[in-house]
Structure 1
Amino acid sequence: MIKAHKIRLHPTAEQVVYFAKAAGTARFVWNWALAEWNRQYEAGEKPTALKLKKQFNEIRREHFPWTWEVTKNASDQPFLDLGKAFTAFFAGRAHRPRFKSKKRSKPSFYLANDQLELGDHRLWIPKLGWVNMAEKLRFTGKVTGARITKSADWWFVSIQVEMPDAVAVKRPGAIGMDVGLNRLATLSTGEGVENQAFLKTALGKLRRANKRLHRRKLGSNNREKARREVARLHYRITCMRDDVLHKLTTRLANCYGMIGIEDLNIKGLIKNRRVSRAFSDAALGKLFSLLDSKVTQRGGQVVKVGRFFPSSKTCHCCGWKWETMTLGDRVFRCQNAVCPYYQFPQDRDQNAGQNILREALHVIGLIDQVVTGIGSDEDVNLPADAG
């Protein structure tokens, strides 16, 4: 198992210049390799990352001597990254690699494990020396590499550490989770997690900052200051959103062995221009991704319920379906006279969460082994061998 620890760096002014040079070298080599790959491919040749690297090294000292001012990984790693990118493209897992822009691409460069050294709150980089880190590495294991990136005005290092697989601890609890925009998540136990909509809250500041940016003269120092202010605002929004998502997913992964969720078409929801910004602000795709990785890592499982399953329209107790239900109906009232919840007002999202839990248990074949009363406010306990 490989984990990455992202740590903020506190470089001096001279070290910032070095980082910018290294990131610029990595971007230049990537663009050179991509252009050469496209040229050879159109000519009917079969380019590879190693061939391009050898070709670049033959002309490097004569044509690009400034690439020797920084660590060699800044000019070596882009070839390997480009090879992986084309492999993913030909396999249909990613888009075709594109050229990197100085203004729009994130500055970054890679360091191999033999090109760095870790100390207490510091990192050693070739041809630069020791750089102060905001904290020391929390993980213990073999360091496989690191990547230095810039976000807004700050530089970060992401250190990859190879660690032994953690021993999975079986957790008997099971829960269903319904996600949305009014509430980010509603659990089958009745607990709701507020959708704090950080982008919507900061929209006024972002608009004013963007107006100041576009009023500045192109190429001026004042425009660069305005651009950095916009970048800092976006970075702050991202950090606050990630904090909520990580805390929620970690708590659920530590408490439950099985979590049922909906198999939503996130890309399709984003295409709806009326709610695309709200869905992007909620970051439901990242929520599902974090939940799946953390639960699986702890020995649990995430069960996806079909996206056409009527979780909101169905009574979790008797199965009566409210066919004419609309998005404006926030309270669910069962109309089945024999149902214990007949005419009883229920929260729409909590009812959906309980239906998702029941359907998830049905999908994995445990619905008959669970004690009755899934509609109660207590957690469902799975058999000991259910993960």
Structure 2
Amino acid sequence: MIRAHKIRLHPTPEQANYFAKAAGTSRFVWNWALAEWNRQYAAGEKPTALKLKKQFNEIRREQFPWTWEVTKNASDQPILDLGKAFTAFFEGKARRPKFKSKKRSKPSFYLANDQMERGDHRVWIPKLGWVNMAENLRFQGKITGARVTRTADWWFIAITVEVPDMQSTKRPAAIGIDVGLNRLVTLSTGEEYENQAFLKTALGKLRQANKRLHRRKQGSKNREKARRQVARLHYRITCMREDVLHKLTTRLANCYGIIGIEDLNLKGLLKNRKLARSFSDASLGKLLNLLTSKVEQRGGQVMKVGRFFPSSKTCHCCRWKWEDMAVSDRVFLCQNQKCAYYQFEQDRDYNASLNILREALHLIGLVDQVVSGTGSDADVNLVMDAG
């Protein structure tokens, strides 16, 4: 299993200047290779990454001698990355590669495992030397590579390590999760996690910073200062949001073996002009991706319930359906007189989480096994937990 640890670097001004040169070299080689690929492809040739790499090395010393001032990975890896990008494009898995802009693209460059060395709170980079790291590498194993990137004013290094697969421990407990905007997560156990809405909270500061940015003259130093301030604000919002999501998903992955969750149409939700910013701020897609990866690493299973399953409109006890339920109805009232919850006020999201749990167990087959008498004791406990 390959895992990555992203660590902040503390470079000196000279080292930061080297990072900027390496990132600029990597961007230049990518653009050169993409332009050459498009030219050869339009001429009826069949370009490949290896051919382009050989072609660049033949003219590199004469036409681009400044590329030798940094590590060779900064000029070799972008061509290989371009080949992978075109392979994914021709297979229909990604969009066509585009040229990288100096202002809009994220500065980065790659380091192979033989082009770096890790020490105590430091990393060695070719033609630069030792650079201080904010912390030690968290994982123990074979280092397969690293990538240095810049976010706002800070440089980071993401080191990929090949570690043994995690030993899966059986966690018989199951849980259902209902996600939303008022509350980020509502669990079938009754626990609730509020939506922090970090972007909404910082929107006033962001507006002021963006106004200050657009009032500055193009190309001036003051405009660059204002741009970096906007970038720092966005980075702070991202860090706070990811901190909440990582802690929540780690807790769920450590405690539960089966997790049921809605399969939302996130692209469709983001087309709603009134709620698009709120959905982006909640970052439900990131939540689902983190939860899926962490649960699978621990030997669990995330079961996605269909997006058209009426989890909010259905009573979790008798299966009665409230057909004309509106979004503004935050309390669920069952109208079935034979139901044990008849006219009993239930939280809408909590009722939905119980329905999601039951449907997830039904899709797995545990509910059917218990009803037919073929399920194990653990399966029985799961269905009992479902209510």
How high is the TM-score relative to the length of structure 1? 0.96
Tell me which residue corresponds to 2:264: 264
Q: CA deviation at 1:380?
A: 8.1
After superposition, the Cα gap between the structure-2 partners of 1:370 and 1:7, relative to the gap in structure 1 and judged at 3 Å, is: farther
- Partner of 1:193, secondary structure, is strand
Q: State the alpha-carbon separation in 2 of the partners of residues 380 and 247 from structure 1.
A: 30
Is 1:113 aligned to residue 113 of structure 2? Answer: yes
Tell me which residue corresponds to 2:147: 147
Residue correspondences, number: 376
Residues 174 and 380 in structure 1, CA contact (< 8 A), matched pair in contact too? no
Q: State the alpha-carbon separation in 1 of the partners of residues 93 and 247 from structure 2.
A: 30
Tell me which residue corresponds to 1:28: 28
Q: CA deviation at 1:138?
A: 1.1
Tell me which residue corresponds to 1:50: 50
Tell me which residue corresponds to 1:318: 318
Is 1:288 aligned to residue 288 of structure 2? Answer: yes
Tell me which residue corresponds to 2:245: 245
**Matched ranges for 1:66-215 at <5 A:** 66-215=66-215
Q: State the alpha-carbon separation in 1 of the partners of residues 183 and 382 from structure 2.
A: 27
Q: CA deviation at 1:369?
A: 4.5
Superposed CA deviations along residues 168-224 of structure 1, whole A, max 9, x for unmatched, are 111010000000000001011111111000001000000000000001111111111
1:339 partner amino acid? C
Q: State the alpha-carbon separation in 2 of the partners of residues 250 and 380 from structure 1.
A: 26
Identity %: 82
Residues 332 and 345 in structure 1, CA contact (< 8 A), matched pair in contact too? yes
Q: State the alpha-carbon separation in 1 of the partners of residues 198 and 192 from structure 2.
A: 17
CA RMSD of aligned residues (A): 1.2
Tell me which residue corresponds to 1:38: 38
1:59 partner amino acid? I
Q: State the alpha-carbon separation in 1 of the partners of residues 77 and 27 from structure 2.
A: 11
Runs of 4+ with deviation above 4 angstroms: none
Q: CA deviation at 1:9?
A: 0.1
- Partner of 1:166, secondary structure, is coil
After superposition, the Cα gap between the structure-2 partners of 1:340 and 1:382, relative to the gap in structure 1 and judged at 3 Å, is: closer
- Partner of 1:272, secondary structure, is coil
Q: State the alpha-carbon separation in 1 of the partners of residues 274 and 42 from structure 2.
A: 42
Q: State the alpha-carbon separation in 1 of the partners of residues 348 and 300 from structure 2.
A: 27
Q: CA deviation at 1:368?
A: 3.6
- Partner of 2:367, secondary structure, is coil
2:291 partner amino acid? L
Q: CA deviation at 1:370?
A: 5.4
Structure 2 unaligned regions, length at least 5: 372-378
Q: CA deviation at 1:251?
A: 0.3
Q: State the alpha-carbon separation in 2 of the partners of residues 4 and 110 from structure 1.
A: 14
1:230 partner amino acid? V
- Partner of 1:290, secondary structure, is helix
Superposed CA deviations along residues 80-119 of structure 1, whole A, max 9, x for unmatched, are 1001101111111111100000000000000000000000
2:106 partner amino acid? K
Q: State the alpha-carbon separation in 1 of the partners of residues 184 and 49 from structure 2.
A: 44
**Matched ranges for 1:270-281 at <5 A:** 270-281=270-281
1:276 partner amino acid? A
- Partner of 1:100, secondary structure, is coil
Q: CA deviation at 1:382?
A: 3.8
- Partner of 1:367, secondary structure, is helix
- Partner of 2:366, secondary structure, is coil
Q: State the alpha-carbon separation in 1 of the partners of residues 277 and 380 from structure 2.
A: 35
Q: State the alpha-carbon separation in 1 of the partners of residues 156 and 380 from structure 2.
A: 42
Q: State the alpha-carbon separation in 2 of the partners of residues 382 and 313 from structure 1.
A: 23
Structure 1 unaligned regions, length at least 5: 372-378
Q: CA deviation at 1:79?
A: 0.8
How high is the TM-score relative to the length of structure 2? 0.96
Residues 370 and 381 in structure 1, CA contact (< 8 A), matched pair in contact too? no
Superposed CA deviations along residues 225-280 of structure 1, whole A, max 9, x for unmatched, are 00000000000000000001100100000000000001110011111111111000
Q: State the alpha-carbon separation in 2 of the partners of residues 208 and 152 from structure 1.
A: 18
Q: State the alpha-carbon separation in 2 of the partners of residues 262 and 48 from structure 1.
A: 42
Q: State the alpha-carbon separation in 2 of the partners of residues 133 and 61 from structure 1.
A: 33
2:211 partner amino acid? K
1:84 partner amino acid? K
Q: State the alpha-carbon separation in 1 of the partners of residues 36 and 233 from structure 2.
A: 38
Superposed CA deviations along residues 97-144 of structure 1, whole A, max 9, x for unmatched, are 000000000000000000000000000000000000000111000000
2:60 partner amino acid? R
